[in-house]
Amino acid sequence: MGRIAARLQRWTLRRRLVVVVVALVAVVAAGMGAVSALALRSSLMDQVDSRLVAANERAATAPARFNPDFAGDGSGQTGSGNGSGQADDWRPSPGNSQPGQSTGTVNVYAPDGATDVRADYIDDSGTLRELTDSQVSALLAVPTDGRPHPVDLGGDLGAYRAISSTTTTGATAVTALPTSSITETVTRFVVVEVVIGVLAVLATVVVGLMLVRRELRPLDRVAATATRVSRLPLDRGEVVLAERVAERDTDPSTEVGQVGAALNELLGHVQEALTARHESESQVRHFVADASHELRTPLASIRGYAELVRRSPEVLPDGAVTALSRIESEASRMTALVEDMLLLARLDAGRPLESEPVDLAVLAIDAVGDAHVAGADHTWRLDLPELDEDDEGPLVVGDEHRLRQVFANLLANARVHTPAGTTVTVGVRNVGESVQVSVADDGPGIPDELRDRLFQRFTRGDSSRTRGTGSTGLGLAIVAAVVGAHRGTITAGSGPAGGTVFTLTLPAA
Ligand SMILES: Nc1ncnc2c1ncn2[C@@H]1O[C@H](COP(=O)(O)OP(=O)(O)OP(=O)(O)O)[C@@H](O)[C@H]1O
Ligand SMILES: [Mg+2]
């Protein structure tokens, strides 16, 4: 039972509605059919019973007007008593010799116990026929209470209703009428009803399916709107939520309309929230960009003045020289940080990038060259495809300056975050419609706790170690932002023998 209920729960509303309506129609049709068949049967039975009472009255009053010794040669109006194959001493019953008895009527007349019983029935041609002994005894067994009782006469006669009464002369008069026509009529009625019921159920299925489908179509449209909204990228940038449920599906007087209207309200609300979020985000971005920008000039001044003092011909005390070089190096570090922050703020703001054809192989060669100089204690390898004269290099369309920065950041990481002696391989190759760049090293790999937020801002490993090397944790965030702005992707993984592999894919030019 529970399982059926659970299965029903999983059915679509459409199917459930149709099944319930069809089941309801079937039950109502069956109930109506059963009740009307019973009513028909009982009313037909009443008719037979009233005819039976009348026939029995005629039979019971007959002996007074009827000569019991009548020999039966064309006695009454109902028929000739001398049908073929009847015994010589056969005499018709008084009841069936009465006018007004219909065909099929059975009459038994027992004047005195079981002797001299006269019993016969009127056959379809109106001829009187003798009853068998068993039929007679079945009829005489009917209680003499003046009320109709069912009797089975078997043979040609079948089911009957019989009534038994006492005549004025004290004899027993049993009259019976056939009920086979009632059974026939009721059977035919039931057949017709079943056919009509089946047709009604079929019609309900068809019409129900059509109606339910039509009525639920607005719900589909509302759901489609919600699905479209769910596929919109809402997580960043300025979002325009233009999707709305159509006017015709927002009529609050219908259930579906209420859902549609509620969804529209929700979408409006979400749009407002997103706009507010975007506004505050851009305020923060502007602030960061402005602040970074404003910091550049004083930083340049600090560096300039520090250099000026260091180069002055006057001999400075040792402590002052050390302090000056610290001022210079910290000012450079801060300048780099400010530049990174400014770049990120600009990329966030979606500032258009340069778009010119850039050969990534050239960039890789330059970057590895620079890395050689900066990290002489690492082994640097280049893995470039061998190209024929007329082959296209691994070209992409984008901002060369920014892409150089991507290489620089990845190679700087491979240099700074791995021990001396590490081999770093930079590969560039065309893969289908895109260019793939990989920077692989056989160093210690990226710490597990960083993996999830590797490309987020200010994510960096062991801070005590990296702080000393001037690490800020913006390098990979910038790489990801630049690659994203070029409609590319970047992933970080480990090589077959450990180490780190950064793979970035950019659409080929
Ligand atoms: N090749 C690598 N091998 C091991 N760890 C790495 C490698 N590249 C990056 N990491 C880890 O990922 C962290 C984040 O790198 P990211 O470039 O974003 O910042 P950073 O190098 O620490 O600072 P920045 O690049 O801004 O100077 C690093 O601090 C380091 O722990
Ligand atoms: Mg870095």
* Cα-to-centroid distance, 498 and ligand 1 (Å): 16
Answer yes or no: do 417 and 389 share one domain. Answer: yes
Question: What is the C-alpha end-to-end distance of the chain, expressed in Å?
Answer: 64
Answer yes or no: do 339 and 383 share one domain. Answer: no
Ligand 1, atom 25: nearest CA belongs to which residue? 475
Atom number of ligand 1 nearest to Cα 469: 27
Answer yes or no: do 302 and 264 share one domain. Answer: yes
Tell me the ligand closest to 468's alpha carbon. 1
Does 149 map to a domain?
Answer: yes
Mutate to test the pocket of ligand 1, among 343, 407, 417 (most ligand atoms within 8 A of CB): 417
* 94 vs 101: CA distance, rounded Å: 11
pLDDT of residue 24: 93
Mutate to test the pocket of ligand 1, among 476, 501, 502 (most ligand atoms within 8 A of CB): 476
Encode burial over 442-476: b for 16+ CB neighbours within 10 A, e otherwise. Answer: bbebbeeebeeebbebebbeeeeeeeeeebbbbbb
* Cα-to-centroid distance, 343 and ligand 1 (Å): 18
Mutate to test the pocket of ligand 1, among 424, 451, 460 (most ligand atoms within 8 A of CB): 460
Answer yes or no: do 430 and 370 share one domain. Answer: yes
pLDDT of residue 71: 38
pLDDT of residue 87: 53
Does 208 map to a domain?
Answer: no
Predicted confidence pLDDT, tens digits, the chain (509 residues)? 778 888 878 888 888 889 999 999 999 999 999 999 999 999 999 999 999 999 988 888 876 555 554 434 343 434 444 444 455 566 778 888 778 888 889 999 888 766 678 888 998 888 888 888 889 889 988 998 889 999 998 888 889 999 998 887 788 889 999 998 899 999 999 999 999 999 999 999 999 999 988 888 888 999 999 999 999 888 877 788 888 999 998 999 988 899 999 999 999 999 999 999 989 988 998 999 999 999 999 999 999 999 999 888 988 899 999 999 999 999 999 999 999 999 998 888 888 888 999 999 999 999 999 999 999 999 999 999 887 766 778 999 999 999 999 999 999 999 999 999 999 999 999 998 999 999 999 999 998 889 999 999 988 887 545 555 668 889 999 999 999 999 999 999 998 888 999 999 999 98
Does 224 map to a domain?
Answer: no
Answer yes or no: do 44 and 170 share one domain. Answer: yes
Residue 300: both structure tokens together = 């340049």
pLDDT of residue 6: 84
* Cα-to-centroid distance, 475 and ligand 2 (Å): 4
* 291 vs 296: CA distance, rounded Å: 9
Kindly report the CATH number assigned to the domain that includes residue 260: 1.10.287.130
Answer yes or no: do 141 and 23 share one domain. Answer: yes
pLDDT of residue 127: 87
Q: Are 173 and 56 in contact (CB under 8 A)?
A: yes
Ligand 1 binding pocket, CB closer than 6 Å = 409, 413-414, 417-418, 441, 443, 446, 450, 454, 459-461, 466, 471-477, 500
Does 7 map to a domain?
Answer: no
SS (H, E, C) 385-439: CCCCCCCCCCEEEECHHHHHHHHHHHHHHHHHCCCCCCEEEEEEEEECCEEEEEE
* 156 vs 135: CA distance, rounded Å: 11
What total of structural domains would you count in the chain? 3
Q: Are 8 and 16 in contact (CB under 8 A)?
A: yes
Radius of gyration of the chain, Cα coordinates, nearest whole angstrom: 54
* Cα-to-centroid distance, 446 and ligand 1 (Å): 8
* Cα-to-centroid distance, 413 and ligand 1 (Å): 5
Kindly report the CATH number assigned to the domain that includes residue 450: 3.30.565.10
Answer yes or no: do 18 and 159 share one domain. Answer: yes
Does 19 map to a domain?
Answer: yes
* 427 vs 450: CA distance, rounded Å: 24
Answer yes or no: do 437 and 498 share one domain. Answer: yes
Atom number of ligand 1 nearest to Cα 459: 14
* Cα-to-centroid distance, 426 and ligand 1 (Å): 17
Residue 337: both structure tokens together = 């940080």
* 71 vs 81: CA distance, rounded Å: 9
Answer yes or no: do 236 and 297 share one domain. Answer: yes
Domain containing 123 equals 13-185
Does 56 map to a domain?
Answer: yes
Answer yes or no: do 285 and 321 share one domain. Answer: yes
* Cα-to-centroid distance, 445 and ligand 2 (Å): 14
Last-in-domain residue among 351, 381, 410: 351
- In Å, what is the CA distance from 363 to each residue of 321, 376, 406? 38, 19, 10
Encode burial over 304-328: b for 16+ CB neighbours within 10 A, e otherwise. Answer: eebeebeeeeeeeeeeeeeebeebb
Answer yes or no: do 375 and 449 share one domain. Answer: yes
Last-in-domain residue among 146, 170, 185: 185
Q: Are 472 and 459 in contact (CB under 8 A)?
A: no
Does 168 map to a domain?
Answer: yes
Last-in-domain residue among 150, 169, 185: 185
Does 225 map to a domain?
Answer: no
Residue 51: both structure tokens together = 């005819």
> With 0-12 CB in 10 A as exposed, 13-18 as middle and 19+ as buried, what is 275?
middle
pLDDT of residue 362: 94
pLDDT of residue 419: 93
Ligand 1, atom 8: nearest CA belongs to which residue? 413
For 347, how many CA atoms within 13 A lie in the half-sphere containing its CB?
19
Q: 213: helix, coil or strand?
A: helix
Answer yes or no: do 60 and 169 share one domain. Answer: yes
